[in-house]
A and B are shown apart, each in its own frame.
Chain A
Amino acid sequence: MIDKYQLRKDIWRVCFFIIVAVLVLIYVSPFLVMFFTSFKTNSDAFTIPVRLFPRKWVSENYPAAMSAIPYFRYMGNTIYITVLSVIGQLIVTPMVAYSLSKINWKGSKIISGLLMATMMIPISVTMVPLYRIYSKIGLTNTYVPLILPAFLGKAFYIIITRQFFMGIPNSLIEAAKIDGANEFQRYTRIALPLTKPIMTTVGIYAFLDAWSDYLMPMIFISRPEKYTLSLGLQQFMSEYSVDWARLMAAAMVFVLPVVICFAVFQKNFVRGVATSGLKA
């Protein structure tokens, strides 16, 4: 006789795998749509019955998308901004988070409260006053307004890093204190080396933010030679019509660096995100 219990377990397992397979398909499908549409002709994309795979594979959308804008120049600009932004966030975020979680001072409570508040300010109303300051000191049309904020810390990153630090026992740091290390030494020697996973997380988020930011470059940069990729992507969307196949190709070359970056750092990233939200 078949073991009834075993049978039930097997059925359950099959069901589980079907559910997982369907979910995976759902979650990657828009990505697949983007990928396959970018290899279609426009008329193929608009033919019924709708097919995921191109009826005829064409690669012409890619050269077309990449020559419609000075792709490599924009790519260079974007990389420049992104790299500096990531560096800025990586220097400042753990510093501030350390101050808020591992140094016992009055300000830490106040700042922790204010952090969330700053996340609620709509950019539409702060834009004009901000632009006026940057304009007065002659920094519009430079990358400073895009990069400087990274060196001043971003609330969300500081919050998740603070959570991470809270998960580290104080005793580790206290021990170093007894050994005579000063605050800065305790920070660089004990605390900082522990932050690798969360710093990977912050790094990837900062990368993604800087890479895909549209609003700030749009407002601050008025010279085509200084444009970023996200501004270039805008060139494919006009008021009148959308060239869908080409837009998807442009989106692919825009997204690809991010996906690669994620793939490389994925393990640490997952670890970082996972530990960030634990101790509220």
Chain B
Amino acid sequence: MHKKLIGLVALLAMLLISVPAAFAGGSQESATTEDGREIVTFWYNNTGDEALVYEQVIADYNASQDKYEVQGLSVTDDQKLIVAMSSNEAPDVFKHSNSKVIQFQKNGLLQSVQDYIDAEGFDTSVYSAQSLEANTLDGKLWALPIDAYTIQMFYNKDLLEAAGYTEPPKTMEEMYEMAVAVTKLDANGNVEILGYPLFPYASARQELIYGFGGTWWDENGKPTPQDPGILESLNMNVKFRNEFGGSNLDSFIATANTNRYTEQDMFFQGKQLFRLDGSWLPTMMDNFGSTVNYGITFVPGTEAHPENRGRARFETDSVAIPVMAKNKEGAWDFIKYIAGYDGAKVIDLGTGNLPALTTLYDDPDVQAKAGFAEFIEALQIGNGVQYPQMNDFDEYISMVNASLDTVYALRATPEQAMADLAAQSVNID
């Protein structure tokens, strides 16, 4: 009978664990706080200082009204969001990139905010046309944008002048020439100063190709890896790599990746001539006390197609409601706040992202932020490249990155690699 005793002890131990844990922590079901406010759960995918910015907006919202109380949570793994949605434990609102919003809705996971907009006559014209387009699928809006971002070209003025140039490049050809003149290797072949903007990789995949008029997909969301602009861009990239040695450049890039956006970031330390990067860069440089004398200019076009100048990705961070959310009314109310003037302003200034609200463009605080004026000018051209509305977008981008790796490693010519990629991505849609 002793076996039973052991079983009993084990069972008892289990109960001891589960009881306090299950009930003491306050159950999920109670959707109101003690003072009768309805709880709205909000997940955002930022950590560290950026998470504090989001918490600030949440606190502001909670103080601004007494019907709802938003509870924020930093969730960086999409896995958690998906698992929670699978079991009806999804948050009431979540923040994600517009491409994820579209992917989720392609799978039927979202509640359209269009219904609320129509019912209330909410005015969406305050948002830039691009930022609305980024969150629209099948003619309906699925999320409101809280910020927007695009990429422009930063250049190190001192390095450029030392090489005898007074103006930043307007075409890729000019940029190449300057890059070659400035790139410097030490006696062992290690790269001391990198001219061509090979880092960050994400920009090399995008802006460096967009400037040539290339795009990875057509307007129907079909892959187009053999676009002439892509091949032209990659051939220039390969030419640069051949000139300075692929493995030396790889080492530089790997280290640039390790210390990206830290005090020792290659651009902040004056070791990079050109850098295709976002609106947050100037603020970071200020914070780290970088003394680099930099300028901001549009992404170059080409001699043949100068109209491609300033062609860069356009993305938004958006707030959406999962279809299984428990408190959708509260979610919408919070969305209006965080994507509205006051909420979005705190987010945009705090995280260094650009406004999606055109009404914020002229706000004195926004204009005063380092680099914002130049970036907003770029936004106003409206030359942004939108992500395609593909089911398999993430999968395709992963394939693209892997193909680019083989090109960068000089293991395949751009033509070969892109032909392989085209064959590999036939089933992508």
Contacts and interface: CB of A to CB of B under 8 A. Distances in A.
Indicate whether A and B are direct neighbours in the complex (CB within 8 Å): yes
Contacts of A88: 10, 13
B10 A151 contact: yes
Contact of A143 (B17, B46, B258, B263): B17
26 contacts: A43-B263, A46-B262, A84-B13, A84-B17, A88-B13, A91-B6, A132-B86, A138-B22, A139-B18, A140-B87, A142-B18, A142-B21, A148-B18, A151-B10, A184-B3, A222-B84, A224-B73, A234-B76, A235-B47, A235-B48, A235-B51, A238-B48, A238-B50, A243-B262, A244-B258, A244-B262
Interface residues of A, number: 49
B86 A223 contact: no
Interface string A122-157: 000001100110011011111110011001000000
Given A140-B87, A142-B25, A92 B47 contact: no
B254 interface: no
Contact of A95 (B6, B13, B48): B6
Contacts of B18: 139, 142, 144, 148
A96 to B, nearest CB: 12
A241 B260 contact: yes
A127 B79 CA distance: 10
Given A219-B80, A240-B260, A241-B260, A132 B21 contact: no
A15 interface: no
A223 B262 contact: no
Contact of A127 (B2, B14, B51, B83): B83
Closest 10 CB pairs of A and B: A241-B261, A135-B87, A46-B264, A184-B2, A142-B21, A143-B21, A238-B47, A142-B22, A144-B18, A131-B83
B259 interface: yes
Contacts of A128: 83, 86
Contacts of B260: 240-241
A182 B28 CA distance: 47
B74 A42 contact: no
Interface string B315-337: 00000000000000000000000
A41 to B, nearest CB: 9
Interface in A140-194: 140-144, 147-148, 151, 182-185, 188
A202 B89 CA distance: 35
Interface string B62-80: 0000000000011111011
Contacts of A183: 3
B251 to A, nearest CB: 13
A251 to B, nearest CB: 16
A218 B80 contact: yes
Contacts of A226: 25
Contacts of A235: 47-48, 51, 74
Given A131-B83, A151-B10, 7 more contacts: A42-B263, A131-B86, A144-B18, A148-B14, A182-B2, A219-B79, A244-B259
B427 interface: no
A87 B264 contact: no
Nearest to A87: B13
Contacts of B83: 127-128, 131, 219
Interface of A: 42-43, 46, 68, 84, 87-88, 91-92, 95, 127-128, 131-132, 135-136, 138-144, 147-148, 151, 182-185, 188, 218-219, 222-226, 234-244
The bracket for how many chain B residues form the interface is 35 or more
Interface in B260-301: 260-265
Nearest to B11: A151
B73 A222 contact: yes
Contacts of A237: 47
B189 to A, nearest CB: 15
A95 B3 CA distance: 10
Contact of B89 (A91, A95, A140): A140
B27 interface: yes
Contact of A144 (B17, B259, B263): B17
Interface string B15-51: 0011001100101110000000000000001111011
Contacts of A244: 258-259, 262
Nearest to B2: A184
B367 interface: no
Contacts of A95: 6
A68 B48 contact: yes
Contacts of A242: 258, 262
A87 B73 CA distance: 31
A87 B46 CA distance: 36
Contact of B10 (A91, A132, A239): A91
Contacts of B84: 222
Nearest to B1: A184
Contacts of B424: none
A218 B262 contact: no
Nearest to A129: B86
Contacts of B75: 222
A42 to B, nearest CB: 5
Contacts of A234: 47, 76
Interface in B86-136: 86-89
Nearest to A134: B87
Contacts of B263: 42-43, 46
A120 B145 CA distance: 43
Q: Which of B17, B51, B260, B264 has the most CB of A within 10 A?
A: B17
